Structure 1
Amino acid sequence: MRLGVVAPGGYGKSAILREVERVYQDAGESVRLVDDAHLLDETRLREVLDADEPRLVVAYRPWPRQRVLAESAGRWRALMPSVFSKEQVKEFLPASAGRAVVDFVHQQTGGVPRFVERLAGISSAEVPADAVAAFRPELDWLDGDLQKFLLAAEAGAGLRLDLLGALLGKDFDEVGEVIEAGRATGLLGQDGTLVPLARRAVAVLSRAERRIAVRQRLAELQLASGGPVLDLVRPLIGTGVGGPGIAAAFEAAAGEAMGADPALAARLLAASASGAPRPEIAARWAAASAMAGDLDAALRLADQVITGPESPHRAAAAEVAAVALAHRGQLARSTELYRWSASSSAGAFAVVGRIGTGHAPEELELPTAPPTSFDGAAALMAQGMRESVAAEPMAALSTLVRASGLLEPVGKAALLPDSPAALAALVALHCGESGVAESVLERAAVARVGGTLMTVRHVVLRAWIAMVRGHLVEAKECLVALKKTGKRLEPRDWLFAVALEIGVARRNSDLATVKRTWEQACEAVLRHPVDLFTFLPLGEFAAAAARLRDEHRLAPHLDAARVLLRELGDPPLWAVPLHWGGLHAAIIAEQTGVAEEHAAALAVHRGRTRYNAIVSDAAESWLDVLAGKVEPDRVEEAARGLHAAGQWWDGARLAGQAAIRTTDRQAMVRLLDCARLLQGRPVGGKKAEAVQVAEVGQLSDREREVAELVVGGMTYKQVGDRLFISAKTVEHHMARIRQRLGCSSRGELLAQLREMVG
């Protein structure tokens, strides 16, 4: 038998020779075996092949090509071992190895037998260090050009003949020879890419300075040809490489990374700057830092450019600072910077900021924006804000929704002081269109409009919608998820997050959490000056302040909100929610006169929109209920109106409060059923309980006071202190209530009272 075994390194040629030798030895016959014949010189190789050997087995790699081997190929049968299949790989692994481990080993090794053998003992999808270290001997003996080629292949340029030619200083034919030599090592697949396990070994075992030099040269060559360089230079961050060529590559890579990973873009720009960055780099670095949520770095870098020598990049730096200050609640200062910047989009954002801080829109002329999606969206945001203070809430909502849609395809890389989706959601919440608010926020979240910087803003507004609808568990889960990130929230996001926590706690009658969070709320209000976009959290804080009898700490901020509204001419869209929040704070504080003032203010705007009419009717119903005048038809209509406007919890609470104040037992049952229905709870299963409540009659005024305070989380002693009675008297009141309601346990009693008093 004369046999030629040809395959790259690691394919098992030596194993085949050993097996042939064993078979012949067992048969008592001799055979001549020649391994690594490609390494023999031509004279020696010719002697071996021309010898009169009846049994000869020659193993060799396809490279380097030996003329003698090529001439002799027709004188023997050829055997070409191939890579292992997954079934063959499985035979090398422990019996406990699952399908995932088999797939992992096959993918990492490319099925090359020698590499499979190195991972034969693993039982999980991890590469042991000794498997990588085993490559060192075969990498060390490779010549310099082949090592450079493998490093280029590890960098992803294994088939870029133009780059390889410049890197190796060879023409295309010579580069092809090097590639063939690489394939013959077994480290490369047929597609010219490194086998994953081999790629890991080349990256880990090659000398660091050589690997850096190859990547740097490739990046410079790629940049010169106008190709992408991000993947080439990413591993060079922090290595200390320098020079004009690599600096330019870092800058180009930052542009590639900005949309998908602004934090990486910031690191690349930092790597490109040796010493103090040029104004252009500092401005781009500031923008990348802002997009990544690092507003401290963004402001520091932007200020360097703004206060530095005159340059065309100062306007861009001013816009970055304006964005950062808007997120930190400094809307007035942000607006000044936008006006100073004077670009088209900056002019539009300045209009939004001016209106948000209480300046009449007539003072500014909206600049004409160029036909880009970003500038077009900015112009629509300005137009929408103008319409919002011109008694055109639905027109404003439509404009802002269109602005959000326009920005969705490009918004991921947009640096925004506020997103059109967030403004649209605020306007929608202010005019009872929570469904629109939810939809526009969901779309913005999917499109990642505003990138990392706007993520929290969109999350807290979606949680706010859940809260006003009475989905308190969902709203609380959003807050928990934000806390788990461990990131410090910027003042605007923190203001809404704290207001959410207080709002959820108040609706859950969790007075302990309201008390615990109140100090944070006061600090959040101090850190964020009042603007038009903070009225929703102010309303929640007003109710909490009334519950805690701490109104004086919030009073200056509510006064500032009222002044801001007057400066804008009391636009109904923004005025109505503030008065609605003030009404509930006055009800909680038992300030009937103040509640009537807010109800009168709401009545002024009732004819403007359907939502205004709903809120005004509800306010009047609340006042009647508090005065003991319960008209079931009117209350139910008002409660259902609030529910239709997205304020499900408010509607249910109005019906529940009316139920415990009516002397008509049939009306009580009806209103309790209405409250349950608006809360999304089944009515039929509770009918008997409702009848039982109806049969016991109405709670007395004192019993109702005691019940509300206990449900609010107060101890008997605290209730007694509030009502100037003893704790024992409070206990007697609760015992009578429990007896009259027929409750068998304290838990059942509290559940019943919570339903009745909201």
Structure 2
Amino acid sequence: MILLDEPTERVCAAIVAGDLAPVRLAIVAPGGYGKTTVLERLAGADVRLVDDAHLLGDAELGELLRYLEDEQAQIVIATRPHPRRAALNQVLARLRGQIVLRPFDVARTKAFLEATGSPELAEFVHAQTGGVPGLVRATSELNLLRHELDHAGEDVVRFLFAAEAGAAADQSGAVIEAAHATGLLSPDGRLLPIAARALRELVPQPRQVALRRQLVQRQLERGGPVLPLVRPLLEAGLTGPEIGAAFEAAADEAEPALAAKLYEAAAKAGRRVGARWAEAVARAGDFDAALRLADELLAAENPRDREEGARVAGTALAHRGQLARSAELFQWAGTGDSRCFAAIALVGTGRVPEARKALDECAGTGPPTLLSGAVNGAARGIVESVTEQPAVALSTLVRAAEMLEPVSRRLLLPDSPAALGALVALHSGEAAIAEPLLERAIEAGALVARHRLLLAWIAMVRGDEETAVARLREAGDDLSPRDWLFAVGLRVGIARRASDLAALRRIWGQAREAVIRHPVDLFTFLPFGEFEVAAARLGERDRLAPHLRQARQLLAALGEPPLWATALHWSGLHAAILAEQPEEAAEHARALAAGAATGPYFAAMSQAAECWLKVLGGEVDPVAVEAAARALHDVGLCWDGARLAGQAAIRTSDRKVMVTLLDCARVLQGRDPAPTPGPARLSERERQVAELVLAGLTYKQIGDRLFISAKTVEHHMARMRQRLGAGSRSELLAELRAELEPAEG
């Protein structure tokens, strides 16, 4: 049953009642609009009814013309807008009006579905069918469209396949009109979704393949895009020069994962696409497959293939964390850009003289493209990071990143200037510069996971655990080995900063695996630093010792540049503190003092290190501690500043100093030091215990400070857990933080 709109219903009722005599009307609409149903509604009227007039022959149309010579003769003629032969036009010209049929709106679609007992959602069905009544009916019985497709001409069906792919069709106006007359196209020429489904399911597969191949060939000849036309042919197992060229052309238009499949199909069809195939596979993140393909290229006879194979292999190895081997391959590739990438990798593995030579060789060896300018700038910035002031290196890297942004999406890069710039910024306390750099790189679509992980790192060192966790989650789980190292480092760092020892133990297995799989290089000091502190916390320092020796040796080979050395000595200081190794801690403090003149960031860390040593020795100067803690906060190390103040607080026997420093720690964490107003859920003693627990003190240390036993502290914790309804220690710590924070308002 087709539901007619109200104006059409009124016209039909008037015709049946004889109120419009003489009736001489046309119904001109594409297939599926309900012409036949209108005629059925008029079956009781004293009117001649003619359906499908576009299919009548000249003799039949001539008979209609003779019938219409009588001005009182009544007739309603239904026809499609195409084909329109001259004789049919003569018949229509003798009529006096037209019944206009319109597609359903959503309300009429819903009414039809309810009347026919179909369960489909009206809005979905309307979107699929464009509201064409016959197509709405076909949503529950697609086979109703088979007759339409079986009787459409070859040119029309080919046009419909072209419309499905959004491709320009080289067809005559008559074919286009005939295609629109099927009712399968929207008024603006787009194939309706249900029609696309009918093409895929009702047109025999051999006929589909043949028509698509014809369209592809025509599109190739005119130089138009072919990806939408070629994509459905991927699974057809086609071979031969023509289809191979089509797969290759489509791959050039596709995103990496699909491009890799299309290049593989092109290769099976006999095309020489090895280099582009390997690059697409690498850009899709399958570095094992990329290395296999690149290895085949390295053994090829063609010098260009060998060069491209070395470039792809060097890039894949960089993502796998094997910078030394990556540098060798980039040097062997010999192009200007590859030498720049080699220079970056050489610095990362401690070989500065070789890096300088590679940098000199990569200048002026090719056209001055945005890529060449950007990678040259990135290489210079990394060399400057170990030879010049941090600000010089950071400025060079920022300019390189901005230069690359317009073209970065489609490039295969071992690393991005934005990521390298962000690392330099993180190592020099310039997170405010790193954030917009990384955000723009994400918008450009380059190395998105890596850039999100570095944004998460910035949030973590600021003490913004919620943002760090969210950005870590956004990076996803499909990570390269290098990105996975940073992701594990983030999880370790977040657990440590939350004082969640259980979570730290859970993640430590992954940290050990990441350390084994990933060699130490200059650009991995941040995660390795987190692992070092966590290892000390868990009593696992021996496992990490060989890797930390490699890091120290790398720093020595580079001449102990403060930019990179400071972070490693800072983590070493805290690992030594946790391991109760005062001499080792003092050694790291001296190293930090040696770099203090490099800038405010480095001076703040040196000042804090000196303060830490005094605190560990029992000397708690509240003025000095607060100054050092606030200096850390001001250079972006918010969590570290709060920790210094909190740890100093629990190591003093002076109650007033303890309260002052705990208040300072709260302020540096973004919390108000004032007591919580309103009815307290904790007693005064429980609040004291909670403050010290959150500051990181053990039960024994808390007992010593409050002159109670460790067992009593444990009882206090148990009562607080019960009162606050916490199901685990981590939940209790979260509840205690919330309880001790001021109420809003």
- Both structures adopt the same fold (TM-score exceeding 0.5): yes
Runs of 4+ in 1 over 6 A off after TM superposition: 95-98, 687-697, 738-750, 752-755
Match runs of 1:33-112 below 5 Å = 33-51=49-67, 54-86=73-105, 88-94=108-114, 101-112=121-132
Among candidates 392, 396, 400, match of residue 395 of structure 1: 392
Match of 1:661 among 651, 663, 668: 651
Q: 2:135 maps to what in 1? A: 115
The match for 1:248 among 220, 230, 245 is 245
| Structure 2 residue aligned with 1:234 | 231
For 1:618, the equivalent position in structure 2 comes to: 608
CA contact (8 A) 1:509 1:711 kept: no
SS of 1:308's partner is coil
- 1:619-647 deviations in Å (ceiling 9; x for gaps): 00000011111111111010001111111
Distance of 1:553 and 1:747 partners within structure 2:
41
User: Are 2:587 and 1:566 aligned?
Assistant: no
SS of the residue 1:238 aligns to: helix
Q: CA deviation at 1:535?
A: 1.2
Gaps of 5+ in 1: 25-29, 120-126, 165-174, 724-729
Q: For 1:128-277, list aligned pairs within 5 A.
A: 128=140, 130=141, 132-157=142-167, 160=169, 163-164=170-171, 175-257=172-254, 261-274=255-268
- CA shift at 1:295, angstroms? 0.9
Q: State yes or no: 1:333 paired with 2:325.
A: yes
Amino acid corresponding to residue 300 of structure 2 in structure 1 = G
Which residue matches 2:7? none
Report the Cα distance in structure 2 between the residues aligned to 1:492 and 1:634, rounded to whole angstroms.
39
Asked if 2 retains the 8 angstrom alpha-carbon contact of 1:327 and 1:492, the reply is yes
- Number of the residue aligned with 2:461: 468
Counterparts of 2:626 and 2:380 in 1: how far apart (Å)?
38
* Aligned mates of 1:13, 1:741 — CA distance in 2: 80
| Residue from 667, 679, 685 that aligns with 2:669 | 679
Question: How far apart are residue 592 of structure 1 and its match?
Answer: 0.6
Structure 1 residue identity aligned to 2:466: V
Shift, 1:79, TM fit: 1.5
Asked if the contact 1:391/1:573 (under 8 Å) is kept, the reply is no
TM-score normalized by the length of structure 1: 0.84
Cα separation, 2, equivalents of 1:311 and 1:691: 78
CA contact (8 A) 1:13 1:81 kept: no
2:358 pairs with 1:358: no
Alpha-carbon contact 1:322-1:417 (below 8 Å) kept: yes
Alignment deviations for residues 546-585 of structure 1 (CA, whole Å, 9 cap, x no partner): 2222222211111111111111111110111111111111
> Aligned in 2, Cα 1:72/1:752: closer, same or farther, shift over 3 Å?
closer
| Whole-angstrom distance in 2 between the partners of 1:653 and 1:206 | 70
Q: Which of 413, 418, 428 lines up with 2:415 in the alignment? A: 418
Cα displacement string for residues 166-212 of structure 1 (whole angstroms, at most 9, x for unaligned residues): xxxxxxxxx32333333333334444443433233223211211211
1:227 is displaced (CA, Å) by 1.4
Distance 1:692 1:212, change over 3 A: same
Matched residue type, 2:423 = L
Range that drifts further, 745-754 or 31-40: 745-754
> Shift of residue 313 of structure 1?
2.1
Partner of 2:740: none
Distance 1:240 1:512 in 2: 53
- Matched with 1:520 is 510
1:298 aligned onto 2:287: no
Distance 1:607 1:206, change over 3 A: same
Letter in 2 for 1:589: A
The structural deviation recorded for 1:148 is 3.4
Match status 1:708 vs 2:682:
no
Secondary structure at the counterpart of residue 177 of structure 1: helix
Q: Aligned letter for 2:449?
A: V
Measured in 2, the distance between the counterparts of 1:342 and 1:587 equals 48
How far the C-alpha of 1:221 sits from its partner, in A, is 1.6
- Shift in CA distance, 187/743, structure 1 to aligned 2, threshold 3 Å: closer
Report the counterpart of residue 26 of structure 2 in structure 1: 5
**Partner Cα distance (2:640, 2:390) in 1:** 22
Residues 417-470 of structure 1, C-alpha deviation per residue, up to 9 Å, x if partnerless? Answer: 111121111111111122222232222222222xxxx23222222222222112
User: How much has 1:334 moved relative to structure 2?
Assistant: 0.4
**CA 1:49–1:679: 2 relative to 1, 3 Å:** same
Structure 2 Cα separation of the partners of residues 19 and 330 of structure 1: 78
Structure-2 change in CA distance of 1:17 and 1:407 (3 Å): same
For 1:202 and 1:742, locate their aligned partners in 2 and report how far apart those are by CA, in whole Å: 68
2:419–2:450 CA contact under 8 A, matched in 1: yes
Distance of 2:383 and 2:438 partners within structure 1: 21
**Cα displacement (A) at 1:752:** 12
Q: How many residues align?
A: 695
- Decide whether aligned partners of structure 1 residues 383 and 145 sit closer, same or farther in structure 2, where only a CA change above 3 A counts: closer
CA deviation string 1:65-97 (max 9, x = no partner): 343332333433231433225254454243999
Distance 1:466 1:571 in 2: 25
Moved more, 740-749 or 240-249: 740-749
Structure 1's 316 and 68: CA in aligned 2 closer, same or farther, altered over 3 A?
A: same
Structure 2 CA distance, aligned partners of 1:96 and 1:610?
A: 76
CA distance, structure 2, for counterparts of residue 491 and residue 731 of structure 1: 50
Further displaced range: 471-480 or 282-291: 471-480
Q: Which amino acid is the alignment partner of residue 467 of structure 1?
A: M
Preserved CA contact (<8 Å) 2:600 2:635: no
Equivalent residue in structure 2 for 1:283, among 268, 275, 284:
275
Q: Which amino acid aligns with 2:380?
A: Q
Q: In the alignment, is the contact (CA less than 8 A) between 2:604 and 2:631 conserved in 1? A: yes
Go from structure 1 to structure 2 and tell me whether the alpha carbon gap of 1:95 and 1:479 turns closer, same or farther (over 3 Å shift): farther
- Cα distance 1:19–1:336, how it changes in 2: closer, same or farther (>3 A)? same
Report the CA distance shift for 1:667/1:140 in structure 2 as closer, same or farther (over 3 A): same
CA contact (8 A) 1:6 1:62 kept: no
- Letter of the structure 2 residue corresponding to residue 45 of structure 1: L
Taking the aligned partners of 2:245 and 2:564, their CA distance within structure 1 comes to 50
C-alpha separation between the residues in 1 aligned to 2:152 and 2:720?
86
Q: Distance in 1 between matches of 2:655 and 2:77?
A: 104
Partner amino acid for 1:612?
Answer: F
Displacement of 1:349 in angstroms is: 0.8
Deviations for 1:471-520, whole angstroms, at most 9, x for unmatched residues? 223333444555xx553x33212222222222222222222222233232
In structure 2, the partner of 1:544 is 534
Q: 1:152·1:214 contact (CA, 8 Å) conserved in 2?
A: no
User: Could you tell me how far apart the structure 1 residues matched to 2:300 and 2:688 are?
Assistant: 78
Measure, in 1, the Cα distance between the counterparts of 2:674 and 2:514. Answer: 44
Aligned match of 1:501 in 491, 496, 509? 491
Residue 509 and residue 184 in structure 1: after superposition, are their counterparts in 2 closer, same or farther (change >3 A)? closer
> Take 1:616 and 1:289, find their aligned partners in 2: how far apart are those partners?
46
Q: Contact (CA 8 Å) 1:262, 1:289: kept in 2 or not?
A: yes
Separation of aligned partners in 2, 1:660 and 1:390: 41
Distance change in 2, residues 1:631/1:311 (3 Å)? same
Cα offset, 1:352, TM superposition: 0.5
Task: Name the SS for the 2:596 alignment partner.
Answer: coil
TM-score (norm: length of structure 2): 0.86
Matched residue SS, 2:597: coil
Distance in 1 (CA, whole Å) between partners of 2:717 and 2:133 is 80
| 1:710-757 superposed Cα distances (whole Å, 9 cap, x missing partner) | 599xxx9xx9xxx9xxxxxx99722455799999668899859998xx
1:147: how far off?
A: 3.4
Deviates more, 1:734-743 or 1:410-419: 734-743
Q: CA offset at residue 267 of structure 1?
A: 1.1
The SS at the match of 2:709 is: helix
Amino acid at match of 1:60: T
Q: Which residue of 1 aligns with 2:571?
A: 581
Tell whether the 8 Å contact from 1:707 to 1:734 is kept in structure 2 after alignment.
Answer: no
Query: What aligned pairs does 1:619-634 form with structure 2 within 5 A after superposition?
Result: 619-634=609-624
Matched, 1:368 2:363: yes
The residue type paired with residue 605 of structure 1 is G
Structure 2, unaligned stretches of length 5 or more?
1-21, 738-745
Corresponding residue number in structure 2 for 1:647: 637
Matched position secondary structure for 2:598: coil
> In the aligned structure 1, how far is the partner of 2:708 from the partner of 2:445?
57
